[in-house]
Amino acid sequence: MSRQSVAKAHQKIQELSWEPAYHEPVSQYGTDYTFRKAQKKDPLKQVLRSYFPMQEEKDHRVYGASDGAIRGNMFRQVQERWLEWQKLFLSIIPLPEISAARAMPLLFRTVPNPELHNGQAIQMIDEVRHSTIQQNLKRLYMNNYIDPAGFNSSLRNFQSDYCGTIGRQFAEGFITGDAITAASIYLTIVAETAFTNTLFVAMPAEAAANGDYLLPTVFHSVQSDESRHISNGYATLLMALADEDNHQLLARDLRYAWWNNHRVVDAAIGTFIEYGTKDRRKDRESYAEMWRRWIYDDYYRSYLVPLEKYGLEIPHDLIEESWNQIWNKGYVHEVAQFFATGWLANYWRIDPMTDKDFEWFEYKYPGWYDKYGAWWENYNRLSMPNGHKPIVFEDVDYEYPHRCWTCMVPCLVREDMVMAKVDGQWRTYCHEMCKWTDETAFRPTYQGRQTPNMGKLIGHREWETLYHGWNWADVVSDMGFVRDDGKTMVAQPHLDLNPDKMWTLDHLRKCPPLASPNVLLNEMSDAERTAFAARYVKGGPAGRPAPADA
C-alpha cells in the first residue's frame, strides 16, 4: 500500500470502535491512575493488511538465515563460551515475551483509548511471535550445537533455578498489580524502551563477534517490532501525564521500574557480554560503554529528559547511581563472579577467564585485576575435579552473599546491603532502593495516598530457603540438572567435554550442606544480626569477607 492509502486505511479502521450501548465490557484489572484529561491518539497507525505480510517477510529472512547457518556449518565457528550463556538467556526470555502478550488486556479497560487498543492487540501478537521464534532458536541450538545439555531441559531449569527466578521478574512484573504500573510503565516505558536496546541490539552484536549470526538475525527481527511497542508506551505515558493526579504515581513507578530493570537486566546482559565473549579487541565496546550509549544517551537523555517539561519526575539520581554501580562498584563483575561461584547450581558451563581476558578487563576497567584477578585464577585452578571441592567451598577469599529480597540478585556490592524486618521477617536488600520497593512502593498506601491496586511481592524469594540443610548432590538431582548417565552434571566450571574431566554428583556428595542465608539470618539474636550486618557491609569488593579487625 502507498503511504497515502496507509493513512486512509488507518483513518478508516478508526470507524471500527464503538461505545457500549447496552452492557459494559468486563473490568478485571485495577489501576490507581486516572485518565480524565487524556488525549486520544494512536501513534502506531498499523493496519493488519500490511502488518501480516510484513511479518511474514521478516520470517522469511529469519528462517532463510537459519537454514543457511545449518548448511554453512555455523557451529564449527561458534564460541562455546558464548553459546553456554545462551542456555540461561534463552531459557528466560520466552516467558517475558509471552507475558508481554498477556499484559496487553490489562490496558483495555484502564486506558480509555480505543485507538490505542488496536496497537495493543498488535503488540500482543508480536509478543507471541517473539516468544515462539525464540523457543525455536533455542531448539535449533539444541539440535546443532555440540552440547545440548541445558538447552534440552531449558524450561524446567528456568522455572526451578534461582537465575530463572531473577529473570522471571522481567515477566511477572508485566502482568500483575496496578495495570498501568505493570503493563505500561514497567513493561513498555522502561523494559522495552530502555533495556531492549542492550538485550536485543548490543547483545546480538556480541553474538556475531563470537561466530553466532543467528542470534542477531532473530533478535534484530524482534527488535524491529519493539519500536511499535515503544510508541504504545509513549502514547499511554502522555495520556497519563495529562492528569496531574498521576504524577506522584508515575514518579514512584519510574523509580521502581528503572531500578529493578537495572538490577536484573544489567546483571544478566552485562555478564553475557563481558564474560561470555572471546572477542577481546581493545576497541570493541565494553558493556559499560554500550550502556552509556544505549541507555544513558539514547534513553535517558534523548527520551526521558525531554518529558520532564510535561511534568514527569525523572529519577536522575537513580540513573546516575546505576552508572555508579556499573562503573565504580563493579556491579557486572560482581554478578559474573557470583554466577561462577555458584556454577554448580546452574545449567550451563562457565569458561574460566584467561590472561587475554584479564588484559582486556584491565584495559576497559582499570583496577579490575587487583579486585577480581586472583579469584578468577583460583576459578581456573579449581575448574577440573582433582580431589578438591567446587570453588564455593574452597578458601578463595570469597564470602557467599545474602540475597536481595526484592530483585533476588544477591547483595554483591557489600557496602550497599541494608536489612529490614518486613511483614514479620528479616530481609536483606542489595541496595536502599530495593528496600524502598518492598517497604514503600509495593504497598496499599503511598506517601499517605491510597493505592489499593498496587501489586505485592510474593513467593519464596530466596531460593536457598527451599534447600536449607540439603546435600548439594540432592539439590542438583532434585532440580534435574543431571546428564543422561545419571551422574554427570549439566553445569561445569570449564568447557572440556571429556567425561573424565566433568564434575559428577559423586563430587558434590562430599561437599558441606547448603545453608540458607535468610534462614540463618532469622535464627540470629538481635545482637548477632546487628553484628552480622556491620561486618557484611565492610566486605568486598569481589566478595572478600570483611577484614578480621573490621
CB of 508 to another protein, least distance (A): 15
The answer to whether the beta carbons of residues 444 and 454 sit under 8 Å apart is yes
Task: Choose between 208 and 241: whose C-beta lies nearer to another protein.
Answer: 208
DSSP 485: T
The answer to whether the beta carbons of residues 312 and 254 sit under 8 Å apart is yes
Question: For residues 403 and 461, what is the distance between their CA atoms, to the nearest angstrom?
Answer: 9
Task: Choose between 149 and 411: whose C-beta lies nearer to another protein.
Answer: 149
CB of 92 to another protein, least distance (A): 11
Apex 400 CA angle, 399 and 402, nearest 5? 120
Closest CA to 280 of 224, 219, 363, 194: 363
CB of 471 to another protein, least distance (A): 11
Task: Choose between 285 and 377: whose C-beta lies nearer to another protein.
Answer: 285
CB of 375 to another protein, least distance (A): 26
Alpha carbon 320 to chain centroid, angstroms = 20
- Count Cβ atoms below 10 Å from residue 541 Cβ, excluding itself: 18
Cell numbers at 245, concatenated = 493526579
Question: For residues 275 and 383, what is the distance between their CA atoms, to the nearest angstrom?
Answer: 16
CB of 75 to another protein, least distance (A): 4
Residue 529 identity: R
Task: Choose between 265 and 537: whose C-beta lies nearer to another protein.
Answer: 265
Sign of CA dihedral 21, 22, 24, 26: negative
Task: Choose between 60 and 316: whose C-beta lies nearer to another protein.
Answer: 60
Cell numbers at 365, concatenated = 576497567
Task: Choose between 50 and 378: whose C-beta lies nearer to another protein.
Answer: 50
Closest CA to 221 of 43, 56, 47: 56
Query: Which residue is it, cell 571429556?
Result: 498
In three-state secondary structure terms, 482 is strand
Task: Choose between 242 and 384: whose C-beta lies nearer to another protein.
Answer: 384
CB of 147 to another protein, least distance (A): 7
DSSP 394: S
Question: For residues 131 and 147, what is the distance between their CA atoms, to the nearest angstrom?
Answer: 23
The answer to whether the beta carbons of residues 493 and 340 sit under 8 Å apart is yes
Task: Choose between 197 and 406: whose C-beta lies nearer to another protein.
Answer: 406
CB of 386 to another protein, least distance (A): 19
- Count Cβ atoms below 10 Å from residue 269 Cβ, excluding itself: 25
CB of 550 to another protein, least distance (A): 30
CB of 381 to another protein, least distance (A): 23
Task: Choose between 36 and 281: whose C-beta lies nearer to another protein.
Answer: 281
